Amino acid sequence: MSFADLLNEISNPDCVTGCNKEKRKEIAENDLCSKVNSAIDQLSVRCVGEHAVQKIHFLIQYFGIFATGMHTKWNNKINYIEICSGPGRCINRKTGDEFNGTALAILEHPSFKYLNKALFFDADTSVISALTERINSRNISNAFVHYGDYNNDTDICRKLVEEISKDSLNLIFIDPTDCSVPFQLIKSLKEVIPNMDLIINVASGTDFNRNIGSALMDQVKYKNSIAKYAQFLDGMDFFENPDNLVKAQQGKYMELRNLFREYYRINLLKIGYRFFKFNSVANFYDLLFATSHERGIDFWEKATRIRFDGQRKLF
């Protein structure tokens, strides 16, 4: 199976394409388009940019290597967990092409058969309904969709404890639209499922890049932004470092972006992660991969060496 086959991409004639940010606010809530449904199953689709396909490519390349390489070593106790899952189908706002999102790409991947369970969490009930219906239509018995707000780590972790064992091996993908996932969630997840490879979308090229200069230079006016980023980083150290203010005043935003990532990496080290890799996706955001095991980083390096072109065989 090729990556193109896994995407199941088709043209959706109902998409008008080219909607700007203001127009998308009018017709979409949580990026779910109110004007267009899937041409395949008439369920909700998420409006995304062209770069989304590259993110899916990185994820499923790693998933294939991870699941195939580890299921026998862990007695088939491996699970996939996704937070901010989306409805399962996406639509490219520029071209009108519709394709499988991360959740369906995982479910239809040949290595899905090696999973004990796949658990999807989202805080949007419309998303939950659409993805649940898509799973049910495929008669998949070991995939489940739950309500999950990443600001409430207790509820998500309670559900994970109910669903999977602590001695399992887990791949967690967290896919927010900005840098607002509290670090407390990562700490809590690591406590309840300690064997956990993490992939998280860090919106360092969009949300962070737009706001960090103003936030550093006027910490009173932009206190809400600072509170969000401090929660993401698990502390105020980044903002209390006077060198970072100087960099903001000098417009050195790429240096600040790299430092922001480094603060995050250091805090992951504190909770047991040892190996890290940041991969930029079209300069919009970074996919951070973190693992406690050397084998995991070897798998990630292998997965990301395979360039995105839409035609390669999976892993």
Output 88 or 16, whichever has higher pLDDT: 88
Residues 61-81 have pLDDT tens digits of 999 999 999 999 999 899 999
User: Among the listed ranges 19-23, 149-153, 195-199, 292-296, which one has the minimum average pLDDT value?
Assistant: 19-23
User: Among the listed ranges 26-35, 50-59, 216-225, 284-293, which one has the minimum average pLDDT value?
Assistant: 26-35
DSSP 74: T
Are the C-beta atoms of 131 and 83 separated by less than 8 Å?
no
Given this model, what pLDDT does residue 309 score?
61
Whole-model pTM over 0.85: yes
**Quick one: which of 202, 188, 215, 182 has its CA closest to 276?**
202
Given this model, what pLDDT does residue 311 score?
47
Q: How many whole angstroms separate alpha carbon 157 and alpha carbon 161?
A: 6
Number of other CB atoms surrounding residue 165 within 10 Å: 10
Residues near 68 by beta carbon (within 8 Å), at least 6 away in sequence: 111, 114, 315
Residues 8-25 have pLDDT tens digits of 999 999 998 888 878 787
Given this model, what pLDDT does residue 21 score?
77
- According to DSSP, the residues that pair with 89 across neighbouring strands are 100
**Quick one: which of 64, 30, 62, 69 has its CA closest to 47?**
30
**Does the pLDDT of residue 312 top 60, yes or no?**
no
Residues 144-188 have pLDDT tens digits of 999 999 999 999 999 999 999 999 999 999 999 899 999 999 999
Name the H helices within the chain.
3-7, 21-27, 52-70, 102-107, 125-137, 153-163, 183-192, 207-217, 223-233, 237-240, 242-249, 253-270, 294-305
For domain 3-210+291-305, the CATH class is: alpha beta
